Amino acid sequence: MHQQHLGSLGLTFLLFAALSPAICTAATPAAPKYDTVQRLPGAVTLATLSNGLTVIVQENHVAPVATVRCYVKNTGGAFEGRYLGAGLSHLVEHLVAGGTTATRGEKEIERIIDTFGGATNAYTSSHLTAYFIDCPARNTMAAIELLSDSMQHAKLTEEEFAREFKVVQRELADGDVNRKRVQWKLLDKTVYTRHPVRHPVIGYLDVLRKIDRQAALDFHGRRYVPNNQVFVVVGDVKTQAVLDRIAQDWATTPRGRETYVAMEDEPRQLTPRSAVREMDGTTCDMALAWPTVKLSHSDLYALDVAAYILGEGESSRLVRSLKYDKQLVLSVSSASYTPHFVKGWFGVFASCTPKHRQQAAAEVLEQVYRLRGELVSPAELAKAKKQKAAELVFGQQTIQQAAGSLGRNYISTGDPLFDNGYVENIQKVTAEQIRAVARRYFVPDRLNRVTISPPGKASKSAGPDATADESPIRMVRLPNGLRVLVKRHAQLPLVNIQAYVLGGSLVDDESTAGRSALVGAMTTSTRSAGGSRCRPAGTRSTAARPRCVTTSPGRRRCLPSASRNPRFRTISWPRYESWPWAPSPDAPTARTRRPSSSSTTTCRPRRRTTCFEAARRRRSGGFRPPTCAPTTESTSYPITWSSPSSATSTRTPPCG
């Protein structure tokens, strides 16, 4: 029995050993394959897994180090959809970076990274979230496995959520007292009025407090899918080994639903905008910006060169003029911001003392608008092009810079090597193109001003437009005896003028009755000055009341011209036959009276006929035009009618 039992056990063991490969194969899902693998210049490889994960690898054997990064698209302050304004992308970043996963806790992850001397961090911008681990080249596979685990299996535990929720709120409070962050937020809200990018990446405190752990889990589950991420590895590595390891670590994660975030287009700016904030400090930090283009626009290159000519380096126009020659600012710089998902802006940033703010702003505008009127010199243009070419080289010195360039370029343009073509196009920019973009975008009506001033200095440093909105009434008597009452009211850009002369029904006698009203009604208006006029006649005076906008070139001449050199309009009435209700000339009625040619034709006053009465009379055929009769004493004004058939026609004119 004992031998039979052992034999049965041995047979069972042999059967299990024979079947175990098939069982293991059935239990383990097949690793995703690469749908595409492209070999690009610069030892760069671009590949896409069947589950949608994009992988970029660049070999760099200068030093035995590597960086492993993962970018999450369609996240960031502008891409949060129904959670817009909550800063949820930033909160989830805090929970995922180094947080507990399905296989490891926070302490274990931290211990593993410390073991090989690595460094890890993360950040969130307006359009993406990025995570990275820097490590020695020999530990690249461990870093890939750690980051892949965090991106796929983050737990977002209750304990970690409560802790990081408090950390984010402290960061938000710290940002409210940081001048640079406040200036950036104000600039986004000023330049953008509709697009979601106007909202801060970190969100608003009131909206953030309404977020719970379930919202974070929902957002993570929708956005942290393979087809919404880009995995980048740069350093002293072997490309094929890296591709194989990433495919193995992402074998159990299927493709998720595609992510699309609808955004409202930013309307064209039509008028200048400004924003002022008072904060503790001794300087004024100001920003002047104009809306421009997206990253894909061809004007991108000329705008970037213009930014270098104005504010890049100690010999640039703004630095040389404002900082050294006139000593108006402590610092000044310029930049052209062109994201791929919304039109960007061209901005100049300066820091100065409150007493120099107005003069410094005027000098900045003069230098910027100078690009609209004259061509930049060949020396300035050549220097800016060299600086942009050098910027590309300097921006790829480290593996961290190279990885950042590859990842951001791919997300923004679909081409990880976009920077190479960018520099080639920069070298093609001409002075005429710079002047053309300056004229196209640096328009005063689309200027945005943002100023951060010390407490109590904002009103004093706001320029000439910051004077009192309303002033007391002041009377001035001119040498010719004219009395002028002046009062300033700056609520609207209008000039209202009222001139009164003695006249009216209480002043006129029988021979001049109605003259004031007639003159007031017939004086021409001041349309050429961009305004209008009203000349009513009252019982004791006649008033001229022209008004025009403050920018009208003829605003100072409109009243003197109309008062000293009046012109009277000629009133012409349409012929009676042209009235739609007039009877046929071949069938005159007895109600139409023809006065003799030797008498003056006058119109008797009659009650005004309403439109309803006129319509009723037309339908009944009994409409009677105003009756006129000859008289020797006239209290009206004679009207002469010209007719093609005769020199003078005495047909009854329209009255009343």
Sequence-distant (≥ 6) Cβ neighbours of residue 492 within 8 angstroms: none
**344 occurs within a structural domain:** yes
**341 occurs within a structural domain:** yes
Q: Give this prediction's pTM.
A: 0.69
Instruction: Quote the tokens at residue 472.
Output: 């007391």
Q: What pLDDT shows up at residue 616?
A: 53
299-345 pLDDT, tens digit per residue, is 999 999 999 999 998 999 999 999 999 999 999 999 999 999 999 99
Residues 117 and 240 placed together within one structural domain of the fold: yes
**28 occurs within a structural domain:** no
Instruction: Quote the tokens at residue 105.
Output: 């806790």
Nearest residue to 32 (alpha-carbon basis) of 258, 256, 255, 259: 255
Across the beta sheet with 494-496, the strand order is 494-496, 547-549, 531-532
Residues 55 and 194 placed together within one structural domain of the fold: yes
The answer to whether residue 105 scores a pLDDT higher than 50 is yes
Element (H, E) at 406: helix 399-413
Domain that holds residue 434: 273-466
Residues 101 and 182 placed together within one structural domain of the fold: yes
Sequence-distant (≥ 6) Cβ neighbours of residue 378 within 8 angstroms: 431
**443 occurs within a structural domain:** yes
**With contact defined as beta carbons under 8 Å apart, do 533 and 522 qualify?**
no
Is 407 strand, coil or helix? helix
**504 occurs within a structural domain:** yes
Residues 482 and 454 placed together within one structural domain of the fold: no
Residues 414 and 480 placed together within one structural domain of the fold: no
**257 occurs within a structural domain:** no
Residues 289 and 222 placed together within one structural domain of the fold: no
Residue with tokens 């990018």: 197
Q: What pLDDT shows up at residue 100?
A: 95
Residue with tokens 């905008």: 273
How many domains, the chain?
4
Residues 106 and 199 placed together within one structural domain of the fold: yes
**With contact defined as beta carbons under 8 Å apart, do 348 and 311 qualify?**
yes
Name the domain boundary from 184, 216, 249.
Answer: 249
Residues 519 and 599 placed together within one structural domain of the fold: no
Residue 150: band (very low, low, confident or very high) from pLDDT cuts 50, 70, 90: very high
Neighbours of 390 (CB within 10 A): 11
Rounded percentage of the chain residues whose pLDDT exceeds 90: 62
CATH number of the domain residue 451 falls in: 3.30.830.10
Q: What pLDDT shows up at residue 462?
A: 43
Higher pLDDT, 514 or 108: 108
Q: What pLDDT shows up at residue 220?
A: 96
Residue 520: band (very low, low, confident or very high) from pLDDT cuts 50, 70, 90: low
Residues 288 and 387 placed together within one structural domain of the fold: yes
Element (H, E) at 49: strand 44-49
The answer to whether residue 653 scores a pLDDT higher than 60 is no
Name the domain boundary from 466, 499, 515.
Answer: 466
392-434 pLDDT, tens digit per residue, is 888 888 999 999 999 999 999 999 999 999 999 999 999 999 9
265-303 pLDDT, tens digit per residue, is 999 999 999 999 999 999 999 999 999 999 999 999 999
3-state SS track over 544-593:
ECCEEECCCCCCCCHHHHHHHCCCECCCCCCCHHHCCCCCCCCCCCCCCC
Residue 479: band (very low, low, confident or very high) from pLDDT cuts 50, 70, 90: confident
Q: What pLDDT shows up at residue 633?
A: 44
Name the domain boundary from 409, 443, 466.
Answer: 466
Residue 375: band (very low, low, confident or very high) from pLDDT cuts 50, 70, 90: very high
Sequence-distant (≥ 6) Cβ neighbours of residue 92 within 8 angstroms: 75, 129, 156, 216, 219, 220, 224
Residues 314 and 354 placed together within one structural domain of the fold: yes
Residue 31: band (very low, low, confident or very high) from pLDDT cuts 50, 70, 90: low
557-586 pLDDT, tens digit per residue, is 555 665 666 665 555 555 545 555 555 555
Q: What pLDDT shows up at residue 5?
A: 38
**16 occurs within a structural domain:** no
**With contact defined as beta carbons under 8 Å apart, do 66 and 233 qualify?**
yes
Residues 438 and 501 placed together within one structural domain of the fold: no
Q: What span, in angstroms and rounded, lies between the C-alpha atoms of 530 and 569?
A: 19
Residue with tokens 């001035």: 476
**293 occurs within a structural domain:** yes
Q: What pLDDT shows up at residue 553?
A: 57
Residues 134 and 160 placed together within one structural domain of the fold: yes
Q: What pLDDT shows up at residue 494?
A: 76
Q: What pLDDT shows up at residue 512?
A: 78
